[in-house]
Structure 1
Amino acid sequence: MNNVMPIAYRGMIASPHYLASSVGNRMLQQGGNAFDAAVAVSAALAAVYPHMTGLGGDAFFLVYDAALGKLRGFNGSGRSGRRVTPELFAREGLDAIPKRGVRSAITVPGMVDAWWEVWSAYGRLPWEQLLEPAIRYTEEGVPVSRDLHRWIVKDQPLMMEQEIHARTFLPHGAPLAIGERLVQPELAATLKQVRDGGREVFYEGELMRRIVQGLQRDGGWLEEEDFRLHRGEWTDPISTTYRSRTVVQMPPNSQGFSVLQMLNMLENEELDRVPRHSADFYHLAAEVVKQAFRDRDAYLTDPRFSPIPLERLLSKEHARAQYRSIRMAWPDGVSFASKAMGQDTAYAAAVDEEGNAVSFIQSLYFDFGSVYTPGDTGIMLQNRGSFFSLDPNEVNVLAPGKRTFHTLMPGMVLEGGKPCLLVGTQGGEGQPQTQLSLLTGVLDYGCSVQEAIALPRWVYGRTWGDDSDLLRMENRGLDQAAIRDLQARGHRVELLGPWDPVVGQAQAIKIHPDGSFSGAADPRGDGLAIGW
């Protein structure tokens, strides 16, 4: 099941869909840089991977400008509407925000603004050129991938609730089969508007008005002013040191700091002496996840609304205390009830021969997001805001103009101040855990990026409907004695298939000291790494 790991000198693209990767490679060959390629890949994913991402979602970008030697982050997550409050839901007789439908779409999509800002700051090719492949794919159609087919089948009842979705994804009354042509004419028309009018048409122009009119006609609560006020933000990334490298993540409202905490704890262990497939490794991994998630769930929200003590949470001293608590309980685990959350995301990465690097991730939150499209725009809106709480005692309580706790977290590793590894993955709870698997695979166990992605993975936590936490593990070469050992330590082990997409679909690019790049895409998905 291992993919071929390409190695190249001119550039490298890795994405969760082979067509999107080919778009990025084309941009590099046409004289574009990594930033052009990233925006074009992101737009193409909206066309070919609509179950995971789209114009109705959010995006986060970590970018390294080689000319200036500067690393920046762009937070492209949207805020809740100005009049969307817990009281509004209470008046409707709701004690929780719906997970699907028009009233789960309560945050402004940040995707298009993120494209525009990254391209405006760093792009070289014309804006129109970056969107043309996505337009062509939506207008002429693309073959349905195995992952898209799987999610259409799963969400068929939801698709039947809105005519545009049934017509697009169930054109003959049944889910499109693998290889059948997916055509999205409404989305193509919308992409042409964005091509011709830039971000303005989406947040201030005619397209914005059509989105809001559709929302309000169907009972939604976002208003025109919510779109006009939206701006993503350039921000300083956060980091920690691990085994002499610097590991970089996006700051809150991203959950990126959680994997930095995990690494800080593991730095107290000679991990290369713990066999990667042993019960001790999986137990240790699950326990550092619990410690980090306890802090994450206690603090993570929009930092403009509630302070987050990052300096303390990311301190080595705090990590040593957390690690001591794990060792004091050893070999038993501690109990912890995580929050169930969506897991559907698309991560990609791009590098070029000039040394520029982009690690980026985007999402609709759940598969197909809210499964709601306003009018004939073809834009499936995200349900990211459904993760807000209506409980005033919760740190992530809903408030007008607020960003929610966000699972998206693109990763990067620096050596000597320059990127040496770009890494990320699909999966809500699983994102920090899969990144942990990949980072330790490369930095502790000496794996190539393809070998690290191919390692058997785990994901600890809950999904919707579970009343307690599970330790889900890919059943690929697992020793039965190790499984019994983990169960004896208190873990509720659930064995998955050998290459189960539940554990995420990761991509990675390694930048080598000689200037070459190696890239990898996850065999659990439909991705491809392409070098030039």
Structure 2
Amino acid sequence: MRDFQLPGRSAAMAMNGMAATHNPHATRVAIEVLRSGGAAIDAAVAAAAVLAVVEPQQTGIGGDCFVLFTNNATGEVIGYNGSGRTPHALPTSGLAPEGATQIEDSSPHSVTVPGAIDAWTRLVADHGRKEIAELLAPAISFARNGFPVHPRVARDWSAEAARLRRDPNAVRVFLPRGRPMRAGEVFRNPGLAEALSLIAAKGRDGFYKGPVAKEIVDYLRSLGGYHTEEDFAIAEGEYVTPVCSTYRGIEVCQIPPNNQGITALLMLNILEGYGLSALEPLGAERLHLEVEAGRLAYRDRDAFVCDTRHAAFPLEEILSKDYAARLREEISPQRIATHLPPPLMRKSDTVYLTVVDRDRNCVSFINSVYSGFGSTRVTPTYGITLQNRGMGFSLDPNHPNAVGPGKRPLHTIMPGMALKDGRPWLVYGVMGGDYQPFGHTHVLTGVTDFGLDPQEAIDQPRIFHSMDKTVVEHSVPQKTIELLRKMGHSIVEATEPHGGGQMIMIDWDEGVLIGGSDGRMDGCALGY
């Protein structure tokens, strides 16, 4: 139990339904949908649409999403891959300057066809109880009538000002006062309201066919892109079988590649061989083991994760407990390894939300435009920010994740779900680009090994190993930092928080939902 004399907040608790997002507007809308009879997937899509308006630096209809969800009637965990592909006319070379290691962040070649709207509309049609027009209405209202910018949003907005100024449409839409929006100021995006209204009226065709698709294609082609209206017309996501592993008897599920979720499963398999519960929750020994497990898992992620329709992926070997045991032999509990190549880390901007309804249908939902304001390429009429997920490709033609036509890149955003005794127990996610496998592992082991509730697990201080540095948040105890230095870690202080996160725990015996939302963001968990 937390110390009530220290800053913080208690976990939210309820018996009927619950939602946790990182913006209060989105959480409120999700609860309203649940209370009016909507299913968990309805509430999640309505909340995601609101976030696409009120957190434009993080997400939008020009981005992608991934979803894990369960139907309590069947108990099955279902995955949906809502990530987009490159244009089918995209060449395999000449997409970046000579010697570049990745596609540039604002290049039209970084813009993959957005998959979010296809995912939203299909999931609502297949598993919802409400019409998409009703679910988009709150987002349309916020875009048209405005909303007050929250503090974390304002902070992120300011950090992206220079990038926004590279695109005249971005300047007009997102720097309307000649500068980034500040906390408490009211922002409107009437063009986005019109685009959402077309989707509300016509479903997916309102985005992938007609004036919205044409404007996106025309704008990208004016910048040198290879996109066509046909690329948009044929774009579709797909249901996928989750990849799962066990951790101390808990079944943990993730989206399969091209998603990086398998990285968290490999980290957990490695850490399962250690008695974490005997260590201090914020001690150097625990955090050191997380770093070393992460370095090994990210090494494999960078080598193998790809669009598996275009290259093979050694799924069974990577998820085997024997493989994790072999990797553990490379870890010293007392000293950081010096022989591992550093994984290529990158921050991204993402929104994660989770919803559980009164029937205990559960949704783990994540939506993103990747970098802050994505590519910063914004459509002239509809004010749509286009993602830059193409940066996730390798420019090495021999790499499994090599850029090419009609391909999905390695994707960092990952929804999580853990089952106990065959039933959903934790519905969770942690944002932050490459940080996400670390975050998933940190909060899950916080609950399983240290008995923390969702809010406590999310609130815990975080570290991350990036480019040969161990990056620590301000709240990591000084004693822990000094011990990590003695173990050989090169410590640097984080300049910004490591991600954000939400979690809902289901107590089936008591019939209670327990939710947490990350104080690193602006949001909250609410139930009824």
Counterpart of 2:71, as a letter, is D
Distance in structure 1 (CA, Å) of the matches to 2:236 and 2:170: 29
Measured against aligned partners, the alpha-carbon deviations of 1:232-283 in whole angstroms (never above 9, x if no partner) come to 0101101111111101111111110111111111111111001112211111
On the 8 A contact 1:34/1:357 being kept in 2, the answer is: yes
Alignment of 1:246 onto 2:254: no
Secondary structure class of the residue paired with 2:378:
coil
Distance in structure 1 (CA, Å) of the matches to 2:125 and 2:99: 42
Alignment of 1:165 onto 2:164: no
Structure 1 residue 395: Cα displacement: 2.3
Measured against aligned partners, the alpha-carbon deviations of 1:17-46 in whole angstroms (never above 9, x if no partner) come to 111111100100111010100111111110
Structure 1 residue 93: Cα displacement: 5.9
Deviates more, 1:273-282 or 1:344-353: 273-282
Structure 1 residue 321: Cα displacement: 0.8
Counterpart of 2:489, as a letter, is H
Measured against aligned partners, the alpha-carbon deviations of 1:95-146 in whole angstroms (never above 9, x if no partner) come to 4554333424431000000001110111101211100000001001111111
Residue in 1 that maps onto 2:449: 444
Alignment of 1:426-505 (within 5 A): 426-461=431-466, 468-476=467-475, 478-480=477-479, 482-496=480-494, 500-501=496-497, 503-505=498-500
Residue in 2 that maps onto 1:234: 239
Structure 1 residue 415: Cα displacement: 1.1
On the 8 A contact 1:51/1:148 being kept in 2, the answer is: yes
Of 2, 5, 9, which aligns to 2:8? 2
Structure 1 residue 330: Cα displacement: 4.2
Alignment of 1:325-340 (within 5 A): 325-327=330-332, 330-334=334-338, 335-340=340-345
Deviates more, 1:424-433 or 1:220-229: 220-229
Secondary structure class of the residue paired with 1:325:
coil
Distance in structure 2 (CA, Å) of the matches to 1:283 and 1:325: 13
Structure 1 residue 446: Cα displacement: 0.2
Gaps of 5+ in 2: 1-6
Label 1:435 to 1:287 Cα distance change in 2 as closer, same or farther (>3 A): same
Distance in structure 2 (CA, Å) of the matches to 1:264 and 1:37: 33
On the 8 A contact 2:124/2:131 being kept in 1, the answer is: no
Of 517, 520, 524, which aligns to 1:524? 520
Structure 1 residue 340: Cα displacement: 2.9
Alignment of 1:211 onto 2:211: no
Of 503, 507, 511, which aligns to 2:506? 511
On the 8 A contact 1:3/1:521 being kept in 2, the answer is: no
Alignment of 1:15-164 (within 5 A): 15-89=21-95, 95-164=100-169
Structure 1 residue 494: Cα displacement: 1.1
Distance in structure 1 (CA, Å) of the matches to 2:355 and 2:409: 27
Distance in structure 1 (CA, Å) of the matches to 2:156 and 2:452: 32
Measured against aligned partners, the alpha-carbon deviations of 1:173-210 in whole angstroms (never above 9, x if no partner) come to 22211010010011011100111110012123332122
Distance in structure 1 (CA, Å) of the matches to 2:280 and 2:518: 23
Secondary structure class of the residue paired with 1:472:
strand
Distance in structure 2 (CA, Å) of the matches to 1:326 and 1:104: 39
Deviates more, 1:164-173 or 1:282-291: 164-173
Name the TM-score, length of structure 2 as normaliser: 0.95
Structure 1 residue 389: Cα displacement: 1.8
Distance in structure 2 (CA, Å) of the matches to 1:154 and 1:83: 34
Counterpart of 1:395, as a letter, is P
Distance in structure 2 (CA, Å) of the matches to 1:45 and 1:236: 27
Label 1:443 to 1:398 Cα distance change in 2 as closer, same or farther (>3 A): same
Structure 1 residue 397: Cα displacement: 0.9
Secondary structure class of the residue paired with 2:203:
helix
Alignment of 1:282-361 (within 5 A): 282-327=287-332, 330-334=334-338, 335-361=340-366
Structure 1 residue 419: Cα displacement: 0.5
Structure 1 residue 296: Cα displacement: 0.9
Secondary structure class of the residue paired with 2:464:
strand
Secondary structure class of the residue paired with 2:331:
helix
On the 8 A contact 2:95/2:109 being kept in 1, the answer is: no
> Percent of aligned positions with the same letter in both sequences?
38
Structure 1 residue 219: Cα displacement: 2.5
Measured against aligned partners, the alpha-carbon deviations of 1:161-181 in whole angstroms (never above 9, x if no partner) come to 333322333222222110100
Structure 1 residue 94: Cα displacement: 7.6
Secondary structure class of the residue paired with 2:291:
helix
Number of residue pairs matched by the alignment: 520
On the 8 A contact 2:335/2:488 being kept in 1, the answer is: no
Measured against aligned partners, the alpha-carbon deviations of 1:318-358 in whole angstroms (never above 9, x if no partner) come to 1111112214x743423431113232111100001101000
